[in-house]
Amino acid sequence: MDGRSYFDVPVPHKDKMFENATALSQWSHVPWEYENPPVFTSSWWEKVDDPGWKTYMRLHKNIPFYAAIVYLVVIFGLKAYLKNRPAFELRKPLVVWNWTLGIFSMIGFYRMSQELVHVLSLPNGFHKSVCVREGLNEPLAFWAVLFALSKFVELGDTLFIVLRKQPLLFIQWYHHCITMCFVWHIYPYSEPIQRYYGVMNFFVHSIMYPYFALRAMKIRVPRRLAMALTSLQLVQMVIGVLVNMYSIYVLSVRHEFCARDSYTIKWSIGVYSSFVLLFADFLINRYFPKNKPKSL
């Protein structure tokens, strides 16, 4: 790489009606230039080398897979180790953990949703929000990078479950592994549709983590709130499928340009469809039970 770091490599790319992974394989990432002047300005600490991170993720695409392997070995190894041992309480660390991630998610949602709402308010806004690379600004890029990196941090959720000897469900560890790999792999493609992934996830987590924090604090939370939260997660996954279907419609039926890639479309449809099925099944079994969800 001519002695330069991954964070110093400028990468050209030409948009086509339908981008494909072959095109990206020639480069480190797909550029998306900041708007000038920006509609939303960054705080002094919201600084990020967005092209550098995209290049790094592209050239180190196996990192999340290695992390997933280590994660699975650790959680199932700990589960086996603790089988005949007492559980850890960890109530205070769990409260701190959940409030920290909850506040982080609230800030991320606030900063990213501003840009999405602005784009949606423009003429033909929904189409632009999915298919057109416009409106990128430093706060959006900063929180998008943190969103991708936070998926590694959130693996810690499962450690608390295992160490406290709570039921470990398939949906929990599958969701963490797949989301981490998914976000890392699609981010270098700089697709406008990714703003939906970040905003929706931050929104759900800004409710979910405080909910778990309150439970860890032994504050009684209505069961209906838990059901509403699971329903909200399901809605998130359905919207993920729908916005992807819209981009397919634009490309395949209208035969118009959309800043999507065949590789990321397959990833997105596969991931969100599997999440729809899993969260729907979880919702039905947990709140309309015939059989309780099985733990592993």
Predicted TM-score of the model (pTM): 0.87
Instruction: Give residue 97's domain range.
Output: 50-287
Amino acid letter, residue 244: N
- Integer Cα distance of 251 and 229 in angstroms: 34
The 10 Å CB-count burial string (b at 16+, else e) for 251-260 is beeeeeebbb
- Integer Cα distance of 172 and 158 in angstroms: 7
Amino acid letter, residue 255: H
* 22: in domain: no
Per-residue pLDDT of the chain (296 residues; tens, 9 = 90+): 444 433 443 333 434 444 444 444 445 567 778 777 777 788 888 899 999 999 999 999 999 999 999 999 999 999 999 999 999 999 999 999 999 999 999 999 999 999 999 999 999 999 999 999 987 889 999 999 999 999 999 999 999 999 999 999 999 999 999 999 999 999 999 999 999 999 999 999 999 999 999 999 999 988 889 999 999 999 999 999 999 999 999 999 999 999 999 999 999 999 999 999 999 999 999 888 775 555 55
Amino acid letter, residue 50: D
Q: 295 forms bridges with which residues in the sheet?
A: 169
Please give the DSSP secondary-structure letter assigned to residue 19.
B
- Integer Cα distance of 247 and 266 in angstroms: 12
* 140: in domain: yes
* 180: in domain: yes
Nearest to 27 by CA among 183, 190, 140: 190
120: its two tokens: 């949606």
175: annotated active-site residue: yes
Q: Are the C-beta atoms of 162 and 75 separated by less than 8 Å?
A: yes
* 8: in domain: no
- Integer Cα distance of 224 and 152 in angstroms: 30
Number of domains in the chain: 1
* 294: in domain: no
| Cα→Cα distances 281→131, 167, 182, 230, Å | 31, 17, 22, 11
196: its two tokens: 């939906």
Q: Which of 175, 176, 185, 205 is catalytic?
A: 175
* 127: in domain: yes
Which ranges of the chain would DSSP assign to H, the alpha helix?
Answer: 21-25, 50-59, 63-81, 91-120, 125-131, 138-153, 156-163, 170-186, 194-216, 223-252, 262-287
- Integer Cα distance of 3 and 187 in angstroms: 25
* 18: in domain: no
Q: 169 forms bridges with which residues in the sheet?
A: 295
Q: Are the C-beta atoms of 274 and 178 separated by less than 8 Å?
A: yes
Amino acid letter, residue 207: I
- Integer Cα distance of 288 and 271 in angstroms: 25
* 229: in domain: yes
